[in-house]
Amino acid sequence: MIEHNQRPGFTFKQFHVAHDQTAMKVGTDGILLAAWSPLHNIKRVLDVGTGTGLISLILAQRLAGEVLIDAIDIETDACSQAQQNVAHSPWPLAINVQLQSMQNHQSAQSYDLVISNPPYFSAGQVFEEKRQQARHSGSLNAQAFFAALAKLAHQHTQLAVILPCDVAEQWLRLAELDDWHLARRAQVHSFANKPAIRSMLLLTKSPVSCCQQEQILIYQQDKSYSTQFVNLCRDLYLKM
């Protein structure tokens, strides 16, 4: 039997994420969101649409396993893969992977942080079946997300998501209707001379006096990682 760290995937400094069973592979979006999200006073986390378990594993590393993370996904193979990745990580007791939709998920206690690289493609775009289930917003659109979030959050819960910039604007309009407030926003650019490709949003239930706005550059012109990206991810990547 092939060793876990030899399976197709991505090897980080402290863990290996296999992604040979899932439609959604390890990608920069999830890495950025997990590295960027603030974790002060975070003890309970809900990772919605966990896929390989990537975001949960990064958060477990950043918090040295001293956190309780519920990682949920509606795709059977994704949950199986995430469970294997968690079991082979240094934090098998910190992360609980469940085959569950956000709408049906129940918890005895509310969460300090809800984090997600959520589905955002609209109906009509065609992908391989598992990727379509993982990425189409039909099963969990923004309206359904905020409706489900209401029963999982407390007054000081933070919500962290990464989305294409145009989709982020739609989410922000719905967030305002549900009394969520934008505390921090990062516009992610692949190169300095290119438009932003993603927005990372941090929202809170508590009103904020002003929103922290920032820009994150992934690559320099020579296609090497930017200093900003290296500073965010140096504890994760093997070669940084």
On the question of pLDDT at 111 being above 90, the answer is yes
Nearest of 81, 21, 32 to residue 55 by alpha carbon: 32
Coarse DSSP helix, strand, coil percentages of the chain, rounded to the nearest 5 percent: 30, 30, 45
Structure tokens at 101: 């939709």
Tell me whether residue 15 is exposed, middle or buried, using C-beta atoms within 10 angstroms of its C-beta: 0 to 12, 13 to 18, 19 or more: buried
On the question of pLDDT at 132 being above 60, the answer is no
Residue 159 CA to residue 161 CA, distance in Å, equals 7
Residue 35 CA to residue 33 CA, distance in Å, equals 6
Residue 32 parent element (H or E): helix 28-36
What is the set of domains in the chain, with CATH numbers? 4-139+151-233 (3.40.50.150)
Structure tokens at 220: 């320099």
3-state secondary structure of 238: coil
Nearest of 34, 105, 43, 37 to residue 68 by alpha carbon: 43
Nearest of 19, 43, 1, 29 to residue 199 by alpha carbon: 29
Measured in whole angstroms, how far is the alpha carbon of residue 70 from the centre of its chain?
Answer: 13
- Is the distance from CB of 184 to CB of 78 less than 8 angstroms? no
pLDDT in tens, 176-215: 999 999 999 999 999 999 999 999 999 999 888 999 999 9
pLDDT, residue 8, reads: 87
Structure tokens at 78: 């994704």
Residue 49 CA to residue 47 CA, distance in Å, equals 6
Confidence of residue 120 (pLDDT cuts 50, 70, 90): low
**pTM, to two decimals:** 0.91
Confidence of residue 41 (pLDDT cuts 50, 70, 90): very high
Backbone angles phi, psi at 87, to 5 degrees: -60, -30
- Is the distance from CB of 129 to CB of 103 less than 8 angstroms? no
